[in-house]
Structure 1
């Protein structure tokens, strides 16, 4: 079985499990996530590999991290994630990419990401649930962080935090690659 097949199977199993634990019907999850009922059925039957945006919407609607939806197994109190098990969820032909390094469900989902944006590349994100906070630290280049339409240059060595319940984007408007670490904290579903 390929890595993609394993990922698809894990997502199908975990989406069903978390939807059941939350007591959500297919229609309830579809409404909460803004994803069609048919798409959720296809994902739960491992018949499709959804986009990163769809996966984020489903995770947000369930109040879990993407790491939890993609986890192949739950580990002990200390969970080490070897570099080769980090999950690359977004990439471009230019060489930009984002990698989910690790995540947890304790006190609400918390995710740690590694990002690389090549010159001219960018990635947009739909609003997350109210109460979601993102923190980032730029280690190379100058990131253009766009929050609710307002651009903010974040140079190497600088950090930023913002409430992510509004549209936001990460862009590289410069000539050097941007490298950053990003943490996303989503409030628990009540």
Structure 2
């Protein structure tokens, strides 16, 4: 399954859950999975197995055919051009001051890769650390960002980048007085 499809599916799961007024805990109880797993799936931090996915869709009371009806698979062209107005905004953990825009998702060597632009409002940070089942590459386009990975802190400015195993707990902090802009690449693990 192409990564574009996986990301569409995770967004649809979140949208259906919210539209039905179901909390993450309620869905976890219905599907007999952990609340953390659902959060990771909805926030594109892990890829569910097929059985878990089907169980989640059924637990939402949604027909499988209806759920997958408008899921689109992107073409596998050798040259792809994306215009900035085509970057799709999306939400990861509800973090104030974080604006994600998806540039592109692709399978590279059969591994899902997600490329996004992240804007961090001045002083934006998370109150908690996150983990992602991926390697992450972050390039600071503008602004100043402090990245906490595990128990280490890394000060980054425009032109700097960081690459790390995102299974380590991590979070960014915009240390500047202006919006920080970063190019982010997630290289998901199997």
TM-score tier by shorter-chain length is: 0.5 to 0.7
Query: Does 1:133 pair with 2:135?
Result: yes
Distance in 2, Cα, partners of 1:119 & 1:55 = 26
Distance in 1, Cα, partners of 2:34 & 2:12 = 19
Please report the RMSD computed on the Cα atoms of aligned residues, expressed in angstroms.
3.7
CA distance change for structure 1 residues 154 and 166 in 2, over 3 Å: closer, same or farther? same
Give the equivalent residue in structure 1 for 2:167.
165
Give the equivalent residue in structure 1 for 2:84.
83
**Once the two structures are superposed, what CA deviation does each residue of 1:49-68 show, in whole Å capped at 9, x if it has no partner?**
xx7x55126x61427xxxxx
Displacement, 1:88? 1.1
Asked whether the 8 Å contact 1:122–1:172 carries over to 2, the reply is yes
Give unpaired runs (5+ residues) of structure 1: 1-6, 16-25, 36-50, 64-68
The DSSP-based 3-state class of the residue aligned with 1:109 is strand
Distance in 2, Cα, partners of 1:32 & 1:80 = 37
Query: Does 1:111 pair with 2:114?
Result: yes
Distance in 2, Cα, partners of 1:88 & 1:127 = 21
**Once the two structures are superposed, what CA deviation does each residue of 1:98-133 show, in whole Å capped at 9, x if it has no partner?**
11111123421101010111111124552122xx21
Give unpaired runs (5+ residues) of structure 2: 1-7, 17-30, 50-67
Asked whether the 8 Å contact 2:101–2:118 carries over to 1, the reply is yes
**Once the two structures are superposed, what CA deviation does each residue of 1:16-70 show, in whole Å capped at 9, x if it has no partner?**
xxxxxxxxxx44xx359633xxxxxxxxxxxxxxx7x55126x61427xxxxx9x
Taking structure 2 as the reference length, what is the TM-score of the superposition? 0.61
Taking structure 1 as the reference length, what is the TM-score of the superposition? 0.61
